Amino acid sequence: MHKDIATPVRTREILDKYGFSFKKSLGQNFLIDTNILNRIVDHANLTESSAAIEVGPGIGALTEQLARRSKKVMAFEIDQRLLPILADTLSPYPNVKVIHQDILKADVRKYIDEELTGIDDIMVVANLPYYVTTPILMKLLEEKLPIRGIVGMLQKEVADRLAAKPGTKEYGSLSIAVQYYTVAETVMIVPKTVFIPQPNVDSAVIRLTVREKPAVIVKDEAFFFQVTRASFAQRRKTILNNLTSQLPNGKQNKEQIISALKEVGIVESRRGETLSIEEFGRLSDALYPIFN
C-alpha cells in the first residue's frame, strides 16, 4: 500500500518538491484528510466494475482513493503545472487516465466512449473548483451523459441551493434545474480546516442521482427552464409580475398569462419560490402555445 497523498506532511512534500504555488483564479484547494476523502468515495457506492470521472484532480489525493476502489478513473485537469505532479503521484495506479482539458470545453461523451468502453456504472466524483461549480454540474447534466450520478464537494451554500425544497429562501431556478435531472441530497458537511489553503467558507458534499426520466415531463425542456428562470428573476415579485416582465412580449400577453395561471390553478399573487417543480411543469406547458 502506498503512502496516502492526502496527509498534511505528504502534501507539503509534493508541493515543495515541485515548487507548486496555488492559483486563486483556478480555485485550488487541496484536501489533506484521508478520512474525509474515503467518506466522499463511500457516498459514490463504487464497485470494482465502476468507473469514476474526476474534475480537477489537483495533486491526486481523491484520484488515488478512487483508483483503489474502481476499475478506471478518468480525470480532467486544466492546470498544466499539475500534470508532471500527477504523473508522479499516480504512477502506482495504471487505471488512471489524466486528460489535460478544461471540463467545460471537453467533449466528455467522446472521452467516455474512448476511455471507459464496456463500463456500465459511471460516477462523477470531484472536489469541484468553487468558482465554476454550477456551470460544470449543468454541463454534465444537460449533456445527458451515461452516468449514474455525481458526488461533488462544493461550497455549502451552493449545496443548500441544489437540494432546496420549495418555500425556502435557498430554493431557486438552480434547485429546479438540478432536481429536474436528479435526486439531490447533501450527504456531509466538510470543515474548512481540512484543506490547504483553507477556503473562507465551509463545504458540503452533495450527491446527485440521475433520474431515469426527468422529474416532470414537459412539452419543451428549454422553455420550461426559461419559465423557471423568469419566475425567480426578482424574488420579491409575484409570479405574474416576473413572467410579464421577463418573458419576451410578456407585457402584451399579460391577459393570456393570467388565464394560463388560472388554467393550472396557480394564484397569480404567489411567488416563484412557492411553486413545486410539478407546478412549474404544468405552468410552462400552459404558457408554451402563447410564446412559441
151-169 per-position pLDDT tens digit: 999 999 999 999 999 999 9
Q: Please determine, for residue 3, whether its predicted confidence score (pLDDT) is greater than 70.
A: yes
52-71 per-position pLDDT tens digit: 999 999 999 999 999 999 99
90-101 per-position pLDDT tens digit: 999 999 999 999
In the 3-class helix/strand/coil scheme, how is the chain assigned residue by residue?
CCCCCCCHHHHHHHHHHHCCCCCHHHCCCEECCHHHHHHHHHHHCCCCCEEEEEECCCCCHHHHHHHHHCCEEEEECCCHHHHHHHHHHCCCCCCEEEECCCCCCCCHHHHHHHHCCCCCEEEEEEECCHHHHHHHHHHHHHCCCCCCEEEEEEEHHHHHHHCCCCCCCCCCHHHHHHHHHEEEEEEEEECHHHEECCCCCCEEEEEEEECCCCCCCCCCHHHHHHHHHHHCCCCCCEHHHHHHHHCCCCCCCHHHHHHHHHHCCCCCCCEHHHCCHHHHHHHHHHHHHHHC
Structure confidence at residue 235 as a pLDDT band (50, 70, 90): confident
Structure confidence at residue 130 as a pLDDT band (50, 70, 90): confident
Comparing CA positions, the residue from 173, 104, 100 lying closest to residue 143 is 104
Structure confidence at residue 1 as a pLDDT band (50, 70, 90): low
User: Which domains, ranges and CATH numbers included, belong to the chain?
Assistant: 8-210 (3.40.50.150), 221-291 (1.10.8.100)
> How is the beta sheet containing 96-99 ordered, strand by strand?
96-99, 72-76, 50-55, 121-127, 149-155, 203-210, 182-190
Buried b (16+ CB within 10 A) or exposed e, 41-68: bebbebeeebbbbbbbbbbbbbbbbbbb
User: Can you give the pLDDT at residue 200?
Assistant: 85
**Strand pairing partners for 98?**
75
User: Can you give the pLDDT at residue 26?
Assistant: 65
Q: Is 31 annotated as a binding residue?
A: yes
* Helices 34-44 + 61-69 axis angle, to 10: 50
Q: Is 127 annotated as a binding residue?
A: yes
Q: Is 56 annotated as a binding residue?
A: yes
Q: Please determine, for residue 119, whether its predicted confidence score (pLDDT) is greater than 90.
A: yes
Sort 276 into a burial class: Cβ within 10 Å, 0-12 / 13-18 / 19+: middle
Comparing 3-7, 70-74, 150-154, the range with the smallest average pLDDT is 3-7
Q: Is 107 annotated as a binding residue?
A: no
Q: Please determine, for residue 277, whether its predicted confidence score (pLDDT) is greater than 70.
A: yes
Q: 0.85 cut: is pTM over it?
A: yes
Comparing 30-34, 116-120, 124-128, 222-226, the range with the smallest average pLDDT is 30-34
User: Can you give the pLDDT at residue 25?
Assistant: 64
Q: Please determine, for residue 199, whether its predicted confidence score (pLDDT) is greater than 90.
A: no
